[in-house]
Chains A and B, each alone.
Chain A
């Protein structure tokens, strides 16, 4: 086969993602006993699914190389936005116990606000103050969810 080129980059990457997951699950599942069809072990169903997913991945990848495939490119990632948002969630998790809810929420709100192109310090700080009060009222005092409110050092 000559002239086989990737026409639909989006679909090709999707198929490759499926294939990668399939290989990962299949290889990991090799540690678990498969058993037989009549008496399946923990490894049987995962292997079966991984094979199906690998097949789907290959079909999607080949479909992206067919001469009739749509021409599609990969879309650009907004890495900055993704980093601010994901980072703020990770920070919330890491700081909840050391800083308590108030501190962790403050960090979460200010850091995630940076993801917006219209970020202003005044806006973010005001928003933080309003949301923290709201959360304390609703979750801690209203619903009584067990949340560490203040830094762990104070307790």
Chain B
């Protein structure tokens, strides 16, 4: 079968000793940074990007994927041990995970998260491998109209799922798209919004912008709040769930995995949505809903499986269609572009070893996390005792060197400084930054496809509605907007997305 043949190619790449080593380092570093409170996967990947500059493309991608999973898992550890989500997808884990830790069951909660994540990772890897072929084939049938409609749908869904009022999310998307127009217009070759600054001719770089907003500005915000961490200090001894724990966690894991795998594929979906949906589902189905919030193991097993499955399947739209479904994936685009890989249907056909190697290494990464995390839990917990006043300068250093290394130029450093101020303004105005970054990444492709579609239809915008695929995608976007305007759904969304 094709699937197994492809996976075999992938594992042959992923199992090369050097690639295994990079996957290992990726997971290790990702967990190391991801465990630190307030540093989500996005900041972690941004910080560790420079480490991958010097590597071969496939090794770099494998390492980045490892960093991503490590950061995800590190976030869960922080959520359980100190009741502080390292990233938004582990917000729900804090609810029951921390309660378990307070009852002296931190070890069991951590093991549950690790086992659930591993299981979900295995299933999601298979789903990814199985769906990649058909989806890529579909993508090759897409013309400019369809791509345009698909990206519009993705952006609308991403704004629907971001916190805060929907209209402000859309505003951030459009602003991001406008920022993406800075630089050379590929069709006419003329400069737009560059004001004669040569460094802007290639456009605004994604990485300095992301580091300014999610690295530097976030530090200013964290320094303002004088939170004391409530670390569960007792030694973590017992890691193994009891028979009763297993009986309760396995169904939750299965449901979480299924939910996460499905929701991760959705544009705008991914880890965050999956974990929230899973928690709600578990609470609804449980015979003991009153235990939720008081240390129910299902409340850890379900969401942790779901967020890992979602994190993994959110690679599907990126790798097959070239459309990043969330900000982390958008940053992956930035990282791939540095290595001259342009995600989309061509990657699989032109570069099969890279493509399947990446997929196989996702599974390898999940396995490593399982092996790495349980024995090292004690070390991760120690890291949490480092005071923030020593940590944040380290983050500053990594980000600054990373930004400089993109082009070996200081212009990007200043760019990051400007976006630090801008990002701080966004925090104060409670405007979501994620839709801005998605708009920034998708902007050029949207303009390109829009222009091509209009050339083909001789300027007739209704042509966008004549193709069944693009009409369907645009209709879905309109339905999403209409749904969110309904008062009941609006109230539900606010409840679910508030932090």
Which single member of B168, B177, B187, B394 contacts A42 (CB below 8 Å)?
B187
Count of A-B contacts with CB under 8 A?
188
Is A137 on the interface with B (CB-CB < 8 A)? no
Number of B positions contacting A (CB below 8 A):
63
Q: Indicate with 1 or 0, residue by residue over B384-410, a CB within 8 angstroms of chain A CB atoms.
A: 000111101110110011001100101
In the complex the two chains form, what is the Cα distance from A93 to B216 in whole Å? 14
- Contacts of A105 on B, CB cut-off 8 Å? 397
Q: Which residue of A lies closest to B461 (CB)?
A: A37
In the complex the two chains form, what is the Cα distance from A6 to B428 in whole Å? 18
Which single member of A59, A75, A89 contacts B400 (CB below 8 Å)?
A89
Which single member of A21, A50, A56, A77 contacts B167 (CB below 8 Å)?
A56
- Contacts of A123 on B, CB cut-off 8 Å? 389-390
- Where chain B touches its partner, the secondary structure class is helix
Is A5 on the interface with B (CB-CB < 8 A)? no
Task: Give the distance to chain B from A51, nearest Cβ to Cβ, in Å.
Answer: 10
Q: Which residue of A lies closest to B401 (CB)?
A: A139
Is B223 on the interface with A (CB-CB < 8 A)? yes
Q: Which residue of B lies closest to A74 (CB)?
A: B428
- Contacts of B170 on A, CB cut-off 8 Å? 56
Interface size class of A (residues with CB under 8 A): 35 or more
Is B245 on the interface with A (CB-CB < 8 A)? no
In the complex the two chains form, what is the Cα distance from A42 to B181 in whole Å? 9
**CB <8 Å contact, A11 and B165:** yes
Known A-B contacts A40-B454, A89-B416; A77 and B428 likewise in contact (beta carbons under 8 Å): yes
Known A-B contacts A116-B223, A135-B397; A86 and B417 likewise in contact (beta carbons under 8 Å): yes
Q: Indicate with 1 or 0, residue by residue over B153-196, a CB within 8 angstroms of chain A CB atoms.
A: 00000000000010110110011011001000101101011000
- Contacts of B51 on A, CB cut-off 8 Å? 138, 143
In the complex the two chains form, what is the Cα distance from A40 to B447 in whole Å? 10
Which single member of B171, B193, B223 contacts A28 (CB below 8 Å)?
B193
**CB <8 Å contact, A112 and B392:** yes
In the complex the two chains form, what is the Cα distance from A123 to B393 in whole Å? 11
**CB <8 Å contact, A108 and B174:** no
Is B224 on the interface with A (CB-CB < 8 A)? yes
In the complex the two chains form, what is the Cα distance from A59 to B401 in whole Å? 41
- Where chain A touches its partner, the secondary structure class is helix
Interface centre among B223, B408, B413, B459 (most CB of A within 10 A): B223
In the complex the two chains form, what is the Cα distance from A147 to B414 in whole Å? 17
**CB <8 Å contact, B459 and A36:** yes
Known A-B contacts A63-B167, A75-B428, A145-B54; A53 and B175 likewise in contact (beta carbons under 8 Å): yes
Q: Indicate with 1 or 0, residue by residue over B430-442, a CB within 8 angstroms of chain A CB atoms.
A: 1100000000000
**CB <8 Å contact, B424 and A56:** no
**Partner-A contacts on B (CB < 8 A):** 50-51, 53-54, 165, 167-168, 170-171, 174-175, 177-178, 181, 185, 187-188, 190, 192-193, 216, 219-220, 223-224, 226, 387-390, 392-394, 396-397, 400-401, 404-405, 408, 410, 413-414, 416-417, 420-421, 424-425, 428-431, 447, 450-451, 454-455, 457-461
A-B contact pairs, 8 of them (CB 8 A): A89-B420, A90-B413, A96-B410, A112-B392, A112-B393, A115-B220, A116-B392, A146-B408
User: Lowest 4 CB-CB distances: which A-B pairs, in order?
Assistant: A38-B459, A37-B459, A93-B413, A42-B185
Given contacts A18-B174, A123-B389, A127-B393, 17 further A-B contacts (CB under 8 A): A10-B429, A41-B188, A45-B451, A56-B167, A56-B170, A60-B167, A78-B220, A85-B420, A86-B216, A86-B417, A93-B414, A115-B220, A117-B226, A118-B387, A123-B390, A131-B393, A143-B53
